[in-house]
Each structure stands twice: as C-alpha cells, then as structure tokens.
Structure 1
Amino acid sequence: MTQWTLSGFGDEIDPDPVVQLAVLAALGARHLELRSAWEVNVVDLDAGQLDRIAALLAERGMAVSAIASPIGKVDITDDPAGERVRLKSAIAAAHRLECRYIRLFSFYRAPGISAEEIRDEVLRRMREWATVAEREGVTLVHENEKEIYGDTPDRVRDLVESVGSPALRVAWDNANFVQVGVRPFTDGYAMLRPHLEYLQVKDAVAATGAVVPAGHGDGELRETLTALRDDGYTGFASLEPHLALQSATGGFSGPAEFGRAARAFAALTESIGVETR
C-alpha cells in the first residue's frame, strides 16, 4: 500500500504547541508543520523557544515536516533585507528542529501592477534564496498563494524552472488554485508534477472561494491524490484546514474543526488505497 506521511499546521489547532502535538498525535500524525507557537511566528522564535519545541517533540517521538515561514508574503517593493533576515531565521529553525523543508512565497504587487512587471525581480530574489538554501542543505517549497507572482500553474512553473535550483520545489495547494480560478488537477497537475515535493491539504468552493474540508469543494482532490498515488508520491501531506478563519497571514480551525478536516482527508486517502502515518 502507498504510504504518505501525515502532518499539519499546529497553530490551526491552538497557540500552545503542547495542545498542537496532542491533537496531531490523536489524529495519527507524527509530524508538525510549524508556523507559530505561543502566538509567535516561527521566524521570530528565539533559541530558547526552539529548544522548548525540540524537547516537546522528542518527548513525544514526533518531528517537524516543514518550517511554514511567511517569507515572500510581502510586497515586491519592500526592502529585500527584511526577507533575508527572515530566511536566516527560518534556516536556523530548520537546523535546530532537524527539518529539511522551508515554505515560502513569491511576493505581492500593488494594484495596477502586472505579474510580468515584477517577474525579473521575483526571479532575482528567488535565485538568491535558493543559492543560500543549497549552501545550507535545506529545500525551499513555494506555495501557490493567491495574488502573489506564483499563484497560477504557469507562473509557478516559470518560477521554479527559471530559477533552476534543486533547492526550490513546489508545495502544492489545491484550495489556493481554486481561489484564483484554476481547476487544480485539470489545469496544473501535469505541468507541475515534476517539481511537486510537498502537499498541503485543503479544498475550496469555486463560486465563493470558501475553504472546506478535502473532497467537499471544487479542488479536484480525488483526482489529484489518485494521480499522486499512481506517480509514486511518498512525501508529506500536511493539513491546513482554515475552517474557522482565513486571512492573508494564515488561518485557524480549532481542535474540533481540525479533526473534521483530518477525517475528510482520511476518507479520501482510504478510498484510493493510500495509508497516512
């Protein structure tokens, strides 16, 4: 049976990492995607806080699947020095928590500015970050967030292939594609599968953009998951439900809604013969 490694955004459950880990473990996950703890963003956690998280993980036999950083979730005209600092912090967290992946984004732009107008600067900064990642032995996974440069499949492919680094890969998000008018599997899967290395799990309704549990929207989750199974995908599947709150900086579900999202995803994976662990 095909096996994928289950993870989830712990701060969608509760600000306290003790609660985050307890709920994830109860749902069968042995990994945490770390975006924040104690209401402190992962790139702002100090060494002592990272040590506390490392100890909590070790006590429970758990690990971190990815550092869910906000890097690149800023306007392209912002001072690039700030993102360099955040990348340095994310890499330090990844090393301390023995994690390979760092999630990031490819910049917002002002109203009236086209994606083509910011392309060269986006690629320049991404190349710089990828060079640092190669040196540090981590892999950057780009999430297709709406309204950034890489929000559609063609621009995600352009980004990854133009940078051309093994340290820059794709974190695939079906719901975010739906929210920019894309049919994820139909319009993007074949194009991006060669670069897809990390799966973030949520779904959305095309008519409203509302986020819903996996398989309950228009994100073509069953088709996507079946194709991943058939292609031999064996990586992470990270729950990011956004069922109670969604904003530009993230989302929240709470334990009950996070559990509902986990059960919906489990129903899908079980129906196609994929085991999550």
Structure 2
Amino acid sequence: MAQKPDPKAPPRQADAPRIIISAFADEAANSKSVVEQFAVLAALGLEYYSPRFLNVSGEVKNIMKLDKAELKTVKSLQDDYGLSVTSIGSPIGKVKLLDQDDGTHNRFVPFSKYLKEDVAIAIDRARALDAKMIRGFSFYHPRGTNPVPHVPQAAEQLTAIADKCAEADIVFALEVEANLIGQNGRLMADLAHRVDRPNLVCIFDGGNISSQNLDPVKCFAEFQAMRKYLGYLHIKDYRIDEKLEWTGVVDEERLKNFVPCDRGDSGHEAIFRDLRDNLPAIDRKMKRLGLPGVFLELEPHLKGGGQFGGFSGPDGLGVACRALCRLLDYVGLDYQLRTFDHIRQARGF
C-alpha cells in the first residue's frame, strides 16, 4: 500500500537534491557471492553499494583481504550490473587505541604500522573499485572506561588517516557506533571538530544509537549534535529490549531486535524531517568532495548483526528498502532508484 504523504510536509521543489539509496551488498546474499549480492541490489533498483564481505572465488573474505584478481572480478561485475561504490566498507578504526588488556578480543596495532599497512590497503581497495570514499571508525578505548579522555589521541590518529586519504583524493567517512570513542553524536562532533579536515565526514546510524538504550528523543538529539559534520546516513533501526539490563556496554552478539526504519526507537521520521530541511547544504558539501550526493545506505541487520557486519537476506533487504521508501515518501524526501529510463539508456536507446 502506498504511503500517503505527510500533510505537514512542504511542497517538493523541482530543483531540490534527491537522496541516493545505497546498501551494504553483503546484507542481501545468503552465500555472500558477488553475483547474488549484485543481482539483489539491481532488482531493488539500487545503483550504489558498499562492499564488505564478498565471496568472489569460493571463499568469503573481507574487502581488505581480496587479492588483485578478485578485485578485478568485482570491478568487472559491478560494471556489468550497473553499480558504483558508495564507500569501501572497511573496518579501519576498529582496533584498540591503547595496548591494554580490557577483557575484549579487539586487537591492538601500533599506529604507525596501522597507517602504513591497513589504511594503505583500504585506499588500494578504493582505487581498484573506483571508490571515492572509505568508511571507518573511531578506535576502541579500554572497555568500561570513559571515552572522553581518549578523544584527543583518537582525533590525532584520525587526522593522520584523513590526511593519508586526502593524498589519494579520498574521503574518510567516520561512523558513529557503540563501544567506540565516537559512540554518540556529541563525541563524533568533538572528534570531527578536532580533526578539522574537509575530507572527513561523519556517518549517522540510528540503530547504533538506539541500541544503547536511547529513546527516539535522545537519538534525535545525537543526530542534531553531529549534523554539522554529516556526510550521509546508514539506515538501521533497533527496538529497545526492556528485558536486557543496560550495563553501559553493547554486547553486539546479543543484539536481536533490529527492525525496519519505520518500526524502531531511532526516530527516523524526525531525523528525515531534519535532513529534508538541511539536505541542500549537505548535498553541496558532498558534491564539492566529488561524491554524487547524499546517501542513505541500507544496513538493516534484520536477520542478525554483530561487531563486523550483519545479514538481512534478499527478502529482508527488500523489506528494509520498501520501509525506507515509504518513510521518505511520507516526509517528502525525493530519492533516486532505477527506472525504465535507466534500462533504455543501458540498451543504447
């Protein structure tokens, strides 16, 4: 059933920028095969995706582990399916800030080595797939400690990462996520302010906020806190489980309540209204950086999620995509999906 537009939504302007819907392709595929991932995205009408886990030659690998031949295959297939890369879905920044035993399995890598090896690999992936952007994170502080005192060191390391990306004309997109130093909008804004690089933008993810037992009002406040530095959004939502005792740390393996973006506690309707009003400025910023516009990237985790990824299946990604489109229609945000005109163009008409 079509979603009736919100009567309070302002009239749509003909020249208003349009949202670009994207997705983490591995969310869609039961086998993680590249062909399955790309076929689902094309059927949903998407033109952009972020690579994370892929089965190119019989083994599921993270994008950081693909060899040159596998990257070449991915590039060829993405061209065949009419896809372009939103960002490299790298795990950059998901390592310990300090070499301390905090009871987690998170690894520590000396930063000079990390910058020279891991960050360089992510940049290589971006070049191989004609990507303009790399997704990353803000480092793990010792579990159970206050993240605030660690902001200066994290910002210093993120500055070095952003500068290395800038050398390759690549944007570094920093995602908000629980358990990391940038675990809320206020801390993300502090980090971005300290880094102060034009090629660093922030990614808001409602599910990564609401899964910290924050209600829609608090989630919206975190969105507003980081909006100045916003580049795009991941679309994930979570319904708070009142049976789980909140300990201040998200046990990512216990998260079971991911839902479509119109059913959770992230408050996406209010977030999208705010985005609608601020979209022209954010769109201009992203285009100045060489991106095609502002992405809303599906990462719904409807069949489960963890520390380094999630899964929705082809059916779940379809459910999530339709929920997103319904909500965008309701608040009056235009978006871009493939149409028959795209088919005609591909056929040379």
Pick which of 32-41 and 72-81 moved more.
72-81
Q: Which amino acid aligns with 1:276?
A: Q
CA contact (8 A) 1:71 1:83 kept: no
Q: Is the 8 A contact 1:107 1:122 kept in 2?
A: yes
Aligned to 2:85: 64
Structure 1 residue 249 displacement after superposition: 1.3
- Structure 1 partner of 2:49: 32
1:202 partnered with 2:236: yes
Instruction: Find the counterpart in structure 1 of residue 155 from structure 2.
Output: 123
Describe the shift of the 1:212–1:54 C-alpha distance in structure 2 as closer, same or farther (beyond 3 A): same
Distance 1:181 1:187, change over 3 A: farther
Q: Quick check: 2:185–2:224 contact (8 Å CA) kept in 1?
A: no
Alignment of 1:1-277 (within 5 A): 2-14=17-29, 15-38=32-55, 39-77=60-98, 78-79=108-109, 80=111, 81-82=113-114, 84-182=116-214, 183=217, 186-207=220-241, 210-232=257-279, 233=283, 234-273=293-332, 274-277=334-337
* Runs of 4+ in structure 1 over 6 Å off: none
Q: Deviations over 1:19-47 (max 9, x none)?
A: 11110111110111111211211111111
| Unpaired segments ≥5 residues, structure 2 | 1-11, 99-107, 243-254, 284-292, 338-349
Contact kept in structure 1, 2:50 and 2:85, CA below 8 Å: yes
Instruction: Give the TM-score normalised by structure 1.
Output: 0.94
* Offset at residue 115 of structure 1 (A): 0.9
Q: Tell me, which stretches of 5 or more residues in structure 1 are unaligned? A: none
Shift of 1:76: 1.4
Give distance in 1, aligned partners of 2:115 and 2:178: 19
The Cα shift of 1:83 comes to: 5.3
Q: State the AA in 2 paired with 1:18.
A: V
Cα distance per residue 1:154-201 (max 9 Å; x no partner): 110010000111121101101111122444653123322221111111
Identity of aligned pairs, percent?
29
TM-fit CA distance, 1:225:
1.2
Q: Is the 8 A contact 1:7 1:238 kept in 2?
A: yes
Partner Cα separation in structure 1 for residue 318 and residue 51 of structure 2: 18
Q: Distance in 2 between matches of 1:95 and 1:50?
A: 10
Give the 3 Å change call, closer, same or farther, for CA 251–56 of structure 1 in structure 2. same
What secondary structure sits across from 1:82 in the alignment?
Answer: helix
- CA deviation map 1:68-108 (0-9, x unaligned): 10011122121222354221111111112111111101111
Highest Rg: 1 or 2?
2
Distance 1:56 1:72 in 2: 29
Q: Supply the RMSD in Å over aligned alpha carbons.
A: 1.7
- Whether the aligned pair in 2 keeps the contact of 1:160 and 1:169 (CA below 8 Å) is yes
